Structure 1
């Protein structure tokens, strides 16, 4: 396996026609690359693994599989599985035509893309992740997150802004320090704790914001329920409407908030569903 001396974090680019990418980040002073054929009995996989380039120079790693004359995805397309063990904090740019991308440990900024596969990460810096068919799961993003998927999207914590586009599947954000924008064609949207601005829209599905303390909130669904939790001690301005459903406001009416009080403006719309506004637990 190719091994390189890397006493500090590096920048890794991994470009595969097909196959999985696994990044293992840890407290280490070297980088080790393993390239294996997906199927050791398949001649195409074996030859692709043998022809995959592995190069390192001046803090930059390149792992690149050869491109066939005709690109197609299916049971007869080439696939190699790549594992890269590198120093924590390294930046990663990874693409694969079909296959999963996984990262373990603390990574730097990441740009990841797979046409057909899941993306799963422990902790990253700023993140841009895209899959056309698969799940995206990230424990922590230190920075901004831009995620595009078609399946389950789970972001436990984002310290910066969170921008999610999900074609088909539920989207969940545990905590975001900055602005949150979520757009879904078909799927529920759930946000536990949000930053100063939330925009969440889905054509078909429910929208739930468990706790908000300040800023502006805009929630919209064509078919589904909406639920918003307002932190205790926060004043709320409400503009909520359901064309075919009930609206329940469990907040006590009061005077306009003073200059020192936290306040939030809530706008919620559903064509077919109920709306609930309550105090956060």
Structure 2
């Protein structure tokens, strides 16, 4: 097993980090109090010669780690780990590799063909994947996820959420702004919708939205052969009263069940 390490002095502002790895894994850790920028490259399954050819380049504003891709033959697998101070913008491109991003990061962009992706905390998220599960903790701003196959789970998003998936469940714990989710065969669950417009579209899957207590809601819920449930009283396009709706909920499905209800009140200390 071959391990190569590279260290670089810190700059006044966090470097943007770019990692390209066709196979293996990518880990980026944002560590409070880190006194240097570190890169660790570990060869997996006999990829010693490839580890020596990894391009690691650092400038005052950016760190690039790039694994050479072999044509016509399988690219050996490498485990790449980067340690950085918090707040760095991250861009990761992988072929067949898991991606783990830990700590508080800036704008985060991940592109992959296959492999699971885990993001703990970032300011904004852009993610495109063909296959693999996606787990995101806290996204402060906008979150955009597109995947063909795989479950998507997001604990919270302060900005708009846009998710497109063909097969896989989608769960958003708390949405602070607009939500748009389209899924062919995966169930959709929004744990707490707080404002804006929630628009969920499915073909054969179920969809459920829990609404923040106290909000006035405009409803448009339609399913051709599925069942409809609403735990909201006197709320819909024609609901009376002079106060405008604070949240619009639009649910559409061909055969899935659709449910809207109130989220549980939070404790006073939350």
TM range (shorter): 0.7 to 0.9
Aligned residues: 253
**What is aligned with 1:92?**
90
**What is aligned with 2:207?**
207
**Aligned ranges 1:34-45 → 2 under 5 Å:** 34-39=40-45, 42=46, 45=47
TM-score, normalised via structure 1 length: 0.82
Gaps of 5+ in 2: 265-270
One of 64, 67, 72 as aligned partner of 2:66: 64
- Is residue 2:22 matched to residue 1:17? yes
Q: CA deviation at 1:54?
A: 0.8
Structure 2 SS opposite 1:85: strand
Spell out structure 1 runs of 4+ moving beyond 2 A: 234-255, 261-281
Q: Which sits farther off after the overlay, 265-274 or 106-115? A: 265-274
- Is residue 2:164 matched to residue 1:162? no
* CA–CA separation in structure 2 for the residues paired with 1:12 and 1:99: 17
Gaps of 5+ in 1: 213-230
* CA–CA separation in structure 2 for the residues paired with 1:156 and 1:78: 34
Given that 2:172 and 2:189 are in contact with CA atoms closer than 8 Å, whether structure 1 keeps it comes out as yes
Structure 1 residues 210, 60: closer, same or farther in 2, change over 3 A?
same
Given that 2:97 and 2:116 are in contact with CA atoms closer than 8 Å, whether structure 1 keeps it comes out as yes
**What is aligned with 2:78?**
80
Given that 2:208 and 2:260 are in contact with CA atoms closer than 8 Å, whether structure 1 keeps it comes out as no
* CA–CA separation in structure 1 for the residues paired with 2:181 and 2:17: 29
RMSD: 2.2
**Aligned ranges 1:71-220 → 2 under 5 Å:** 76-149=74-147, 150-194=149-193, 195-212=195-212
One of 28, 32, 48 as aligned partner of 2:34: 28
